[in-house]
Amino acid sequence: MGLKEVLKQKIDAHRPRTTKLLKEFGNVKLGEYTIEQCIGGGRGIKSLVTDISYLDPMEGIRFRGLTIPEVMEKLPKPDGKDYPYVEGFWYFLLTGDVPTKAQAEEVVEDFKARAQVPQYVFDILRAMPRDEHPMVMFSAAILVMQRESKFAKFYNSGFNKMTAWEPMYEDSTDLLAKLPEIAAYIYRMKYKGDTPIASDKSLDFGGNFAHMMGIKPPYDDVARMYFILHSDHESGNVSAHTTHLVASALSDAYYSLSAGINGLAGPLHGLANQEVLGWIQDVYQKLGGKVPTKEDLVKFLWDTLKSGAVIPGYGHAVLRKTDPRYTSQREYCQKYLPEDELFKVVSMIYEVAPGILQEHGKAKNPWPNVDAQSGVIQWYYGLTEYDFYTVLFGVGRALGVLANITWDRALGYAIERPKSVTTQMLEDVAGIK
């Protein structure tokens, strides 16, 4: 049974659960919120539903109930590789079932059949100024393909709420299959002397991306790992929430993902990994252009905090332990680049920063997040163009957000329209005269 057929069975079984909650338990209160949460971006207010992933403060992200180590262990891998098929992970995100290797490879073949990027996408990219930010190029390439949308054609021919998930699934899979070539084309055109590398149809998602980037193995495993780790992080983060919000208006996957990518481009979201790498390199240079002693590093970090600055890559709004995404990438580095000097600096920061932050006392979470590690790996493999890092993030994030909006349509979620209040109303509630 193919992925789409399995997904239909899952949807048919899930719909009665949502219907029952709405009809019989719709008035049950989930909790209360504060003025601080209202003004502060809605942080912590339980107002979104997703079964794709959940962020546990102590365990980190769970994809369909599995921790990151469990995902990496249980999902099928290409022969001789350490990390799972991205295509098998897509199957898993959609269905909650760990696919067999045969099922994963069936999705690999399905992606290959959908992967051809229309020529007009390349024409438009080539017409853009070469100094345009790669995220602008990436978002534009996604948006311009909206003319291909099967969901839009479905809506215009007579919308059926019960089957709306099917064209959304088709759009999402079509779009996802094309993203590696679009991303790699932008990179080679913009940074590598306009020398795009043709797709190799014999390779899987991660392997073909590495090939088109012009980076030899084991970078293919870096790609598989990176895309899986960055795929989803609950639905409240900016890129996930934006994609969901736009899709809630019955916009198709092209409109929705392009909007989510624009949110990901923000410096408080996807841009953070390049900022952390820049800071690590700055530490390295300021401490002599070599791996510092622990004593020198401790002094530098204390001086940083006393100056009112922060230690980038440390702390997280939800997590209260080391981010498992950081740990997964650290394990890769320990195996493949243990002697790299930037990695040694990252490792030393990991050894000393949590204790300093705990003693400092202002950080709610003194442990590293995913951004504290990821840029170092890309730099090691020659991908030194900071601006492109968010595009890598975007390819991975597409997995989670596209799975989410497919399920949004399957369960018939309503258009999102929260109620706003005025400052005067908040002052009245607070008793301010």
Name every residue whose Cβ is closer than 8 Å to that of residue 192 and which is 6 or more positions away in sequence. 214
Contact 18, 51 (CB under 8 A): no
The span from the CA of 217 to the CA of 297, in Å, is 33
Average pLDDT over residues 274-300: 92
Supply the pLDDT for residue 319: 72
Strand partners, 232: none
What letter does residue 386 receive in the DSSP assignment?
G
Sign of CA dihedral 267, 46, 86, 186: negative
pLDDT band at 143 (very low <50, low <70, confident <90, very high): very high
Helices (runs of H) and strands (runs of E) counted in the chain = 20, 3
The span from the CA of 165 to the CA of 403, in Å, is 10
The span from the CA of 388 to the CA of 277, in Å, is 13
What letter does residue 61 receive in the DSSP assignment?
E
The span from the CA of 143 to the CA of 40, in Å, is 31
316 an active-site residue?
yes
Give residue 192's Cα distance to chain centre: 25
Supply the pLDDT for residue 206: 98
Supply the pLDDT for residue 146: 98
The chain-wide mean pLDDT, for the chain, equals 95
Catalytic residue among 14, 133, 269, 360: 269
Supply the pLDDT for residue 271: 80
- What are 405's two structure tokens? 């909006």
Closest CA to 407 of 95, 81, 75, 38: 95
- What are 10's two structure tokens? 């899952």
387 an active-site residue?
no
Sign of CA dihedral 208, 213, 216, 222: negative
- What are 105's two structure tokens? 């490879």
Please state, for a pLDDT cut of 90, what percent of the chain lies above it: 87
pLDDT band at 362 (very low <50, low <70, confident <90, very high): confident
Average pLDDT over residues 271-286: 89
Closest CA to 254 of 407, 398, 52, 94: 398
Instruction: Specify burial of residue 258 (Cβ count, 10 A radius: 0-12, 13-18, 19+).
Output: buried
Sign of CA dihedral 15, 20, 21, 27: positive
Whole-model pTM over 0.85 = yes
**pLDDT over threshold 90, residue 23:** yes
371 an active-site residue?
yes
Phi, psi dihedral angles at 53 (to 5 degrees): -150, 160
Supply the pLDDT for residue 231: 97
**pLDDT over threshold 90, residue 43:** no
pLDDT band at 431 (very low <50, low <70, confident <90, very high): very high
Long-range contacts of 334-337 (CB under 8 A, 24+ apart): 336/218, 337/377, 337/380
Pairing relation of β-strands 53-56 and 66-67? unpaired
**pLDDT over threshold 80, residue 316:** no
Catalytic residue among 221, 232, 316, 323: 316
Supply the pLDDT for residue 267: 84
pLDDT band at 281 (very low <50, low <70, confident <90, very high): very high
Pairing relation of β-strands 60-63 and 66-67? antiparallel
Catalytic residue among 110, 171, 232, 371: 371
Q: Using alpha carbons only, how large is the chain's radius of gyration in Å?
A: 22
